[in-house]
Structure formats: structure tokens, C-alpha cells
Structure 1
Amino acid sequence: MLKEKGLLGNIGVQVVIAMCVGTLVGAMMGQSASLFAPLGSIFIHLIKMLVIPLVAVAIISGAAGLGSSHSAGKVGFATLGFFGFTSAVAVALALFMGEMFEPGMGVDLTGVEGLFSNVYADKGDLPSFWATVLGMIPTNVFQSLNEANILQILVFCLFFGIALSKLEKERRDPLINGVNAIVDAMVWMINVVMKIAPLGVFGLMADAVGTFGFSALMVVFKLFVVYVGAILVYGFVFYPLMIKAFSKTSPMKFLSAMKKPQAVALSTASSMATLPVTMETCEDELGVKNSTAAFVLPLGATINMSGNAIYYGLVAIFFAQMFNIDLGMSAYIAIIVTSTLGAVGQAGVPGPSFLVVAVLLAAGIPIEGLPLLFALDRIFDMIRTALNITGDAACAVIIDDMVSKEADKVSEEVQNA
């Protein structure tokens, strides 16, 4: 019956099943489940092979499409404003839930004191404003492509796409059509790679659960529970409310469509690796125009990290409570500002997040206990990535609705003129 309804042929269903089976196999086999790791590595490598060129041509296509419209400037400012606002709200939610549920109170540190270390003290420096700005401007765009420096690629491709939109129509259209053809070809390649996604997801989950297990969660179990709670509130309450308030899309339709990219995000722990799936979902299931999706989603995969912001805020509260440190208003402000800036600067790839060091140092919180979290960072990362890409999609839906309204307004003005 399932086959007749086509459920088993749905890649999203296959990915969810693969996650469950991989988790079960990892829990049963333990460390030996690492023998399935190459399956996940092959999948991730294929995705990485395609993501950088896809991001480059998609941004050029999106910027060229928006650059010729009357709302280009508004789209850019609205997108950045959305990302900054939602990251700040995410930190505030983390602080509120941290103070309400007190995950760091009464933590039993017996047997784990040996993990404490100051080795991460030199990893907490955030670059200055001007260093950040200069770091975004490529001096050699081919080197940026070679090194996969996403921010530099974004800056150049945005600039280039807008420049294309300013050319005369007869010179502009063939170039933009060519770029769009490349985007379509890249999407075809992504669709082919996604056919092995269930195998890759199985390998990733079996390896992650088998390597780290769930026993290590006991020391920070309450933090993990509060963290998951904050993620669920933000992903299933805050973002749907934003969708309902600022777009015509149904929140239920949005949440239903996001199941597939969320499953991929959970398994890969990478916003960039999930980007092709997020773009496909937004365009095919949520009706977002290609020009909007191609602009907002690659940008969001790079700088929109609300899940990371929640993590930074909760970890700060956790260690402050664990070490019996009373935080004043200045410390809270430092946590919000540093977490928001740190979330924006966090790359959309999996790996230990040392930016939490900057957050702790800014609030005067000891960092010795950080090694307690680093072994579990993959699990935390998987969950926060699912929220990050949900925020990217929410932004795309809202911005696309804004662009449509702007276009309708311009069309109405032209008709009335």
C-alpha cells in the first residue's frame, strides 16, 4: 500500500527512515559502526563538489534578477535585517529559558574535572569591524573559489550579478539565460546525488551515534533538554508566527514542506550541504521565485545562524550557573551582542564552534569546562543546523511575498498612470 501511495519513493521519507535505521545501528554497534562512515563521507564530498559552483551561479542569477527590479535595495536590507533580528531574538529566548530552567544548577562534575582545560582561551578573539569588512572582499576571486571562502564568493557574485542587470537588454539577456542554464544543470546534478542521500544519511547517523553515543549526555543532560526545547519553540512557534504575520503562506504548509531539508540538515550538520535541498523545497513546494531563493538562501546558509545563537546563549548561562557566577545586565548585553555577531560570522559547515569562547569571555564566564561540550558538538550541531535552514526558508518566503507585493504595487501605478 505504501508503494502504491508513493511514500517509499519520496526522498524525504527515505532520508527519515535512513536516519532512524542509522541511529539504531549506531546505538547497537557502538564504535564499530564507524565502518559505515565512508558512505556518509562520499555523500558529503559529492555535495561539497557541487555546492560552491551552485552558490556562485545562483547568487549571480538571483542578484541579476533582483538588480533589475525596483525592490533590489529593499530586498537586501530586509534580508540582512531579518537575519540580525531573528538571531538577537534567539539569544534572548536562550537567556530566558536558561534562567527559567537553570540547566547548570546542581551539575555533578564528579569524574569529569580532568576534562577542564584553558587551552581554548586564545580562540575567543572576534575580528574587528574593519577586519571583518576587509575579509569579505576578495583580492583574487579564483583563490576565493579554490579556498571555498563563501563570504568572499558571495560579495563578488552579488556585485557581478547586479552589474549584469545594468547592461543593455540585448547584451544582458543572453548572459543571464546562460547563467540560468548553468543553475538548471547544477540542480540536475544535485538531484542525481540526492538519490544516494539515504545511504549517506545512514552512514553519517550510524557513525555519529556509534562514536559519541548518548552516555556522555548525562553530564550536560539538562542543558541538552533545555536546548532542544528552545530549538523547538523557535522552529515550530516563532518562525511559523513570522510566516503567518508577514506572508500569505500557511504555517502548516511551511512546516510540512520543511521536513525534507530538516532531515538532511540533521544528518549532515551543514547549512551549505543542505542548501540545494532547501532551494528545491522553497521553489517547488513553497512557491518562492527562483530569483528570491537564489539570493536569500545562499546568503542565509552563510550568515543566518539562529540555532548557533541559541547555543551560545544557553552555554553561557549553563557555565555561569555551574560556576555560581551572578550575571548582571552588562553581562547579558555582552552575551546578546557577541552571540548575534558570532552567529552571523559562523560558517555554514559542521565542526566544533569555538565562537562560544568569545561569548563566554565577553561575559566574564570561565571557559575551563568547554571540553565537556566539544565531544557532543556534532549532536548539538545537527539540531541547530535544522533550525538554521528553517530560518533561511522562512526569510525566503517572507521576502518573496514582499517582492510580489512591491511588483503588484509598481504594476498598479503603471496602469493608473
Structure 2
Amino acid sequence: TEGNVLQIVVFAALVGIAIQRLKERGEPLRKTIKSGAEVMYEITRMVLQLTPIGVLGLMSWVIGEYGFSTLLPLAKFVGVIYLACLIHIIVVYGGLIRTAGGMSPWQFFKAIFDAQIVAFTTCSSFGSLPAAHRAVTERLGVSKDYASFVLPLGATINMDGCGGIYPAVASIFIAQLYGIPLEWMDYGLIMLTATLASVGTAGVPGTALVMLTVTLNVIGLPLEGIAFIAAIDRIIDMARTLTNVTGDMMVSRVVARSENLLQDQAPLATESK
């Protein structure tokens, strides 16, 4: 009720660890929590179905209150998000593939291009799983058993775009929009909160907006600022999902190589010279 999200996240992690340690004795609570999570996912789907109507109302209020001039900075906001995602994909993912994945970044991006297109157009990490699974098993040489484990796990907790890049840029954008100065402590809280909250971000379209409220609450920014960016969320979501899914496939290749889980018969499984 007070918006102390970090404490809730830490407590939830401790509960999960305790349930794992108790094993059979903790099984009833685990099933209850899992069932509760499914209920909340269904509520989220219901909310997302009404999102277009809500966005229309929010944007009507924004334009009526402040005029069309307030929408001009959105182009820069979208550009910064896409630039940050592009840098992260090329520099971080490409660098890890070259140093730890045993193949050139060009080979990697060429092999996963069709899966990236699916992620970009569907805006869903879960919806991209079949294409990502085919790419990492048939062209990156990852064993099917390991790919079937790591890709769904990545679609659940690996949210670099939704949980790392987007909340940080959006929080700074909203702070500047309202003329609210941020201290170094605020930037630190943004990084910490965005990272922790990304673990709980569902791999379906639009949920990053919900998780953005967590970051805004922690640093005391007005939630009304979401109205400014809600209308263009779909455009941003394409870049976020592309980043997330690319990261899942990169991790699949890097860990599979380190654990000797590569298939020799795959066309790109051999290490680049």
C-alpha cells in the first residue's frame, strides 16, 4: 500500500528459496502461489484487452490539457529507446557471442534473423518461442533438450529491453517532462528497481507499462506521466521484445558451448576460426 516494491521483491525471493529448501513440505504453498500467479496473468490479459480504450481516454486528456506540442518530444523518446536497444544488441550480445559463443556476430545475427522478425512483429517473447527454438537448434547448434529449458526460462526472466532499458529511459523522460530533477540516488534506484522488477515481467505485449509503475513509484515520479507514452507503447514494445528474444538466443549459444551441449551436425555449430 505504501509502494515499497523493493521490499516485496526481496521478500518474495526469500519465500521462493524457503519453499525450495522445504521440498515436499512447501509443495502446498508452491501450488497455491502458482495458481495465484495464473489468476493474476488472466486479470492482466483482461486489462490488456481494454488497454486501447484506456489509451484513447488518456491521450484525449493529455491533448486537451496540454495541446499537441506535448507529443513532439515522443519522437526523440522512441529514437533513444531504439538506439539503446540497438547498441545493447550489437555491443553486448555481439561481444558475448564473439568471446564466449565461439562464432562471429555476423553468423549469429544471420542465423537468428527470422526469429528476430517474429519477435519484432508479435511483441511477445512467449509467442516467439517456436521461431527462437528452431533458430537455436537448427542454426546455432544448441541441443533440443537444453533449448527447451533455457528459452522458456529466458522468456520469463530475461527482460533486458522491458525491464532494463525501457524503465530507465521512460523514467528519465517523465522526470524531464515534469521538470523534476533526479539525484544520483534516484538513478541508482532506477537501475536496481528496473533490474529486479524485470524478473516479474510477463512475456506478453504491453506488460512493461505495468512494470514501469514500479520504477516510478520508487523514485516518486507521477504515474500520470505514463499517459504521454502509452499511445506509442506498441512501437516501443517491438524494439523491447526484439532485444529480449535476441538475448535469450545469445545465452542459449554461450551456455551450450561452455557446457558441451552443442550438436555437431548443426551448420553453424562449429566455432569460427
Encode CA deviations 1:59-88: one digit per residue, 9 max, x unaligned.
xxxxxxxxxxxxxxxxxxxxxxxxxxxxxx
Q: Does residue 278 in structure 1 map to residue 132 in structure 2?
A: yes
The alpha-carbon deviation at position 125 of structure 1 amounts to 4.3
Q: 1:365 to 1:142 in 2, by over 3 A?
A: closer
- 1:363: which partner in 2? 219
Q: Which has the larger radius of gyration?
A: 1
> Which residue matches 2:170?
315
Letter in 2 for 1:274: S
Q: Within 5 Å, which residues of 2 pair with 1:21-170?
A: 125=5, 127-132=8-13, 134=15, 139=28, 144=34
Aligned partner of residue 346 in structure 1, secondary structure: coil
Show the counterpart of 1:200. Answer: none
Q: 1:238 to 1:128 in 2, by over 3 A?
A: closer
Assess, with a 3 A threshold, how the Cα gap between structure 1 residues 130 and 123 changes in structure 2: closer, same or farther: closer
In structure 2, the CA distance between the partners of 1:285 and 1:124, relative to structure 1 (3 Å rule), is farther
Deviation at 1:135, TM superposition (A): 6.8
- Quote how far apart the aligned CAs of 1:361 are: 2.1
Q: 1:289 to 1:149 in 2, by over 3 A?
A: farther
Does the 8 Å contact 2:142/2:252 carry over to 1? Answer: yes
Letter of the 2:110 counterpart: S
Q: Which residue of 2 aligns with 1:224?
A: 78
Q: Are 1:292 and 1:399, in contact at CA under 8 Å, matched by a contact in 2? A: no
> Identity of paired residues, percent?
34
Contact 2:9 2:196 in 1 (8 A): no
Deviations 1:228-274 (A, max 9, x none): 11111111222111111112122111111121111111121110110
Letter in structure 1 aligned against 2:260: S
User: CA offset at residue 365 of structure 1?
Assistant: 2.4
Partners in 2 of 1:231 and 1:399 — Cα distance? Answer: 22
Instruction: Report what 1:389 is aligned to.
Output: 245
The offset of 1:275, in angstroms, is 0.9
Matches within 5 A, 1:140-289: 144=34, 218-289=72-143
Give the partner amino acid of 2:199: V
Closer/same/farther in 2, CA of residues 400 and 150 from structure 1, 3 Å limit: farther
Letter in 1 for 2:119: A
Q: 2:258 aligns with which of 402, 406, 417?
A: 402
* TM-score, scaled relative to structure 1: 0.49
Contact 2:136–2:249 (CA<8 Å) still a contact in 1? Answer: yes
Check whether the contact 1:124–1:356 (CA below 8 A) recurs between aligned residues.
Answer: no
Aligned equivalents of 1:148 and 1:278: distance in 2? 24
Change (3 A) 1:145 1:271: farther
Number of matched residues? 225
Whole-Å Cα distance in 1 between the matches of residues 109 and 157 of structure 2? 22
Q: 1:339 aligns with which of 184, 194, 198?
A: 194
Contact 1:124 1:354 in 2 (8 A): no
The one-letter amino acid paired with 1:361 is N
Separation of aligned partners in 2, 1:217 and 1:262 = 29
Question: Which segment drifts farther, 289-298 or 243-252?
Answer: 289-298
Structure 1 residues 322 and 150: CA distance shift in structure 2, 3 A? closer
TM-superposed CA distance for 1:277, in Å, is 1.0
2-structure distance, mates of 1:379, 1:217 = 15
2:184: which partner in 1? 329
* Unaligned runs of at least 5 residues, structure 1: 1-120, 152-206, 406-417
TM-score by length of 2: 0.72
Q: 1:302-335 CA deviation, whole Å, 9 max, x = no partner?
A: 0000001100000111112222222222111100
Cα distance in 2 between the residues matched to 1:281 and 1:368: 41
Deviates more, 1:297-306 or 1:363-372: 363-372
Cα RMSD for the two superposed structures: 3.2
Q: 2:142 touches 2:253 (CA, 8 Å); kept in 1? A: yes
